[in-house]
Amino acid sequence: MTTILVFFWVTVALYSGSTACYFLEFSQKQERFLRPGFILAVAGFVFHTICLSFYWSRPGFFSFATFEVINDAAWSGICVFLVVSFISKVLRPEGFLVMLFTMLTMVWAAVSNKEISPTPPSFDTPWFLVHVIASAFAYGFMLLAASNGLLYILKTKYSGDPFYDRLPDLKKLDDSNYLFIGIGFVMLTLMIMSGAFWTQSVYGNYWSWDPLEVQSLITWFLYAIWMHLRLTLGWRGIRLAWYALLALPVMVIAIWGIPFVPEMFHKGFRVDHYVK
């Protein structure tokens, strides 16, 4: 565990530096901070990946402990951001919100219980892996969509400002938002479906109506409405940008809800199987 924490704190330090650079870029309107901010994010991601690999690679060890869940979510958010940024360099300013949210998740992981517990027998199913991966990357793409929406809002509000005029054009931001939420919505759907199959294999039913399941379903409907507004009603631009930005906290609550709700399937599920 000591080795994991060393890499974890190095990751936090690098992400902190990246967040500071992105903050200075927008607060001082200095594009020169973008490159070091991005480089620090890449370096932090490397150490973050090494950190996660230590407990992911240990056979028989994984749980829904807060440290692991939030650490994985933070990693997936950075992963999606970096992949997109290497494909389209003009979207790298999205790191402003991405790094801010990542630091919030890393701070929460830092103050949580870091003990890695043995994997319960009920986790020994492919549906568990699908469920965890889908939920992590759903968050990653929705985080990027919210960051994209923030850039759209800033570019619209400060039109004519040379600093904001250099951001991607509004159509590209709008189309990118649709792409990110579309992929994230597929991941959300896969998360809920795999969770249902997982529940059925343990309890004999596909849905238990525990608070986290309900919250996940609410999140799914929230983004389903976003897709409906765009595809059916033809919404575009600033309204959907605000929608994507404000919907992100709901997604975060769905992931962070695990440690805050004392009686529910996900938490009792873990404890019940430890004592068997």
The mean pLDDT value of the chain amounts to 84
| pTM recorded for the entire structure | 0.86
- Please answer whether residues 148 and 180 qualify as being in contact, where contact means their C-beta atoms are separated by less than 8 angstroms: yes
Helix, strand, coil percent content, the chain, rounded in steps of 5:
80, 0, 20
Residue 268 has pLDDT above 50, yes or no: no
Q: What angle do helix axes 238-256 and 126-157 make, rounded to 10 degrees?
A: 140
Rounded Cα distance, 95 and 112, in Å: 25
- 71 vs 92, higher pLDDT: 92
Helix, strand or coil, per DSSP, at residue 118: strand
The residue to which tokens 């997604």 are assigned: 251
The domain spans of the chain are 2-274
Predicted local distance difference test score (pLDDT) of residue 200: 79
- Please answer whether residues 106 and 12 qualify as being in contact, where contact means their C-beta atoms are separated by less than 8 angstroms: yes
Tell me the per-residue pLDDT of 84-111, one tens digit each, with 9 for 90 and over: 999 999 999 999 999 999 998 888 888 7
Residue 62 has pLDDT above 80, yes or no: no
pLDDT band (50, 70, 90) for residue 126: confident
Tell me the per-residue pLDDT of 223-240, one tens digit each, with 9 for 90 and over: 999 999 999 999 999 999
Residue 142 has pLDDT above 80, yes or no: yes
Predicted local distance difference test score (pLDDT) of residue 229: 96
As a whole number, mean pLDDT of residues 138-163 equals 93
Residue 247 has pLDDT above 90, yes or no: yes
